[in-house]
Amino acid sequence: MNLAVLGAQWGDEGKGKIVDLLTPRFDIVARYQGGHNAGHTVFVNGTKFVLRLIPSGMLHPGITCVIGNGVVVDPEALFAEVDELSRNGIDVGDRLVVSDKAHLILPYHRDLDLLAEARRGERKIGTTSRGIGPAYEDKIARRGIRVGDLADPDALEQNVRDNVLARNRLVHDSTMDWKPVFDQLLAHAARLQPWVRDISLMLNDAMSDGRCILFEGAQGTLLDIDHGTYPYVTSSNASIGGVCTGLGIGPRAIGGVLGVAKAYTTRVGEGPLPTELVGEMGNRLRDSGNEYGAVTGRPRRCGWYDAVAVRYGVRINGLDALALTKLDVLDGLDRIDVCTSYRCGSRRLTEFPSDVGQLSSCEPIYESLPGWSTPTRGIRRFSELPENARRYIARLEEISGVPAAIVSTGSEREHTIVRDDQRFQIPDRRVPA
């Protein structure tokens, strides 16, 4: 059975750690959207890896990693990542597969990202300035350049000319020359070419041969272009729908959906965050959780667990279960608040509002739970958790509406409780169904 692992909050939930942990249960790990705006951290025996474009399964030998058509690929970022992995003893070799239909991020997309942010002024989104939005804009405008286009230099030349011209029209006084862009793309083509495939065909053939796939999401449900807190979102479908469109597989191929959620909430960039804590407690969560962006180093905004937001993630993605991460960050707190609903004017809301303006005016309604003083860090058995930690998890399960099939108690692979006794069984190719 195949499994989708995706973010149930605003990104950085710990997807990289969970994907790396579950990878031995699968044959293939496939990214379906986003680009190198993602930063998926994996710790293996004290060594830190940050995966950006390459799926987080790459650290396991023998696993094939797929970059789907729904991903936007910056070739330079991809090569830098391959080289960095190689310096750390991970040989990508022929285990990487890149869709011929994936769109390319070109150097001017990065400039356009910065320019758009500057033009937005006060209403900026706080993007990662990786050119993600402008590359998806070109895709939707049907002028994008795809990985497969690199195989036809004549058509590519015309396409690059047209695109650079279109870009020059957008940027005041710009006379960017198309030729260096074209030459650089030709140079990249040679290195990319051995990885390029029709990944829809490859994945469907693999499934017919009985192989199992883990679909890895980037960003999170509330950053989804359709279902997130628009316009403070990324430009792709981070939620479950992105799996089918971003890989060319049918919905029945998705056997289960695991939502990764922190035991509290963070967000990086602008936009509403109802449970945000700006004072001492916010700093406490940021410090103990080391909440600084894996890609940009920006401090993340921190707040209590927002069950309204996670319940929305359960609905949008049809989540079967949660992987609840960073429980250990809450160690030592006297009381822990959990947001169960919002107050919006005179109304009490139990459902996440569609409108970002309404969300901005919502106040969280909290339930306060007792904390625990004995550390949970590194605990691997549920029964060994302090009683109040178990109660906290049970309450989160109740108000979020799904079981916590995984509880993460530290950043290392081993710092994890996998609850195979739960209502939701995480698939494992090594264990016949």
Count, residues near ligand GDP per rule CB under 6 A? 21
Residue 126 interacts with, from Mg ion, ligand IMO, ligand GDP, none (CB under 5-8 Å by kind): ligand IMO
Q: Dump the DSSP string for 44-93.
A: ETTEEEEESSS-TTTTSTT-EEEE-TTBEE-HHHHHHHHHHHHHTT---G
Return the residue of 3, 6, 10, 15 that touches ligand GDP, per CB under 6 A: 15
Nearest-angstrom CA–CA distance, 305 and 400: 10
Interface positions, 257-296, toward ligand IMO (CB under 6 A): 268-269, 294
Interacting span for ligand IMO (CB under 6 A) from 72-80, 124-132, 278-286, 352-360: 124-132
Give whole-number Cα distances, 355 to 20, 226, 229, 358, 365, in Å: 35, 12, 8, 5, 19
Residue 14 interacts with, from ligand IMO, Mg ion, ligand GDP, none (CB under 5-8 Å by kind): ligand GDP
User: For residues 39 and 246, which CB has a smaller minimum distance to ligand IMO in the complex?
Assistant: 39
Residues at the site binding Mg ion, with contacts judged by CB under 5 A: 12, 39, 294
Burial class (CB in 10 A: 0-12, 13-18, 19+), 250: exposed
Reading phi first (left if > 0) and then psi (alpha if -120 to 50, else beta), residue 397 is in alpha
Residue 130 interacts with, from ligand GDP, Mg ion, ligand IMO, none (CB under 5-8 Å by kind): ligand IMO
Long-range contacts of 390-393 (CB under 8 A, 24+ apart): 392/263, 392/327, 392/330, 392/336, 393/324, 393/327
- 39 to 78: interface string for ligand IMO, x by CB under 6 A: xx--------------------------------------
Interacting span for ligand IMO (CB under 6 A) from 121-129, 144-152, 338-346, 359-367: 121-129
Asked if 12 touches ligand GDP (CB under 6 A), the answer is yes
Does the active-site annotation cover 227? Answer: no
Could you tell me which of 193, 246, 132, 155 has the C-alpha nearest to residue 163?
Answer: 155
- Fill in the amino acid letter for 292: Y
Nearest approach, Cβ of residue 10 and ligand IMO (Å)? 6
Asked if 309 touches ligand IMO (CB under 6 A), the answer is no
Does the active-site annotation cover 20? Answer: no
**Element housing 182 (H / E):** helix 178-192
Annotated catalytic residue, options 12, 20, 111, 337: 12
Interface positions, 283-312, toward ligand GDP (CB under 6 A): 294
Can you list the positions of beta strands (E) in 155-216? 196-197, 213-216
User: For residues 69 and 235, which CB has a smaller minimum distance to ligand IMO in the complex?
Assistant: 235
| Torsion 262-263-268-269 (CA) sign | positive
Please answer whether residues 243 and 317 qualify as being in contact, where contact means their C-beta atoms are separated by less than 8 angstroms. no
| Torsion 245-105-266-331 (CA) sign | positive
Asked if 37 touches ligand IMO (CB under 6 A), the answer is yes
Annotated catalytic residue, options 40, 103, 109, 227: 40
- 224 to 263: interface string for ligand IMO, x by CB under 6 A: ----------xx----------------------------
Q: Are strands 321-325 and 404-408 parallel, antiparallel or unpaired?
A: parallel
Neighbours of 120 (CB within 10 A): 14
Residue 43 interacts with, from ligand IMO, ligand GDP, Mg ion, none (CB under 5-8 Å by kind): ligand GDP
Please answer whether residues 167 and 174 qualify as being in contact, where contact means their C-beta atoms are separated by less than 8 angstroms. yes
Output phi, psi for 336, to 5 deg: -130, 130
User: For residues 130 and 167, which CB has a smaller minimum distance to ligand IMO in the complex?
Assistant: 130
User: For residues 16 and 75, which CB has a smaller minimum distance to ligand GDP in the complex?
Assistant: 16
Nearest-angstrom CA–CA distance, 96 and 412: 24
Return the residue of 17, 31, 103, 130 that touches ligand IMO, per CB under 6 A: 130
Q: List interacting residues with ligand GDP (CB under 6 A).
A: 7, 11-17, 39-41, 43, 294, 325-326, 328-329, 408-411
Q: List interacting residues with ligand IMO (CB under 6 A).
A: 7, 11-12, 37-40, 125-128, 130, 132-133, 218-220, 223, 234-235, 268-269, 294
Q: Which residues are catalytic?
A: 12, 40
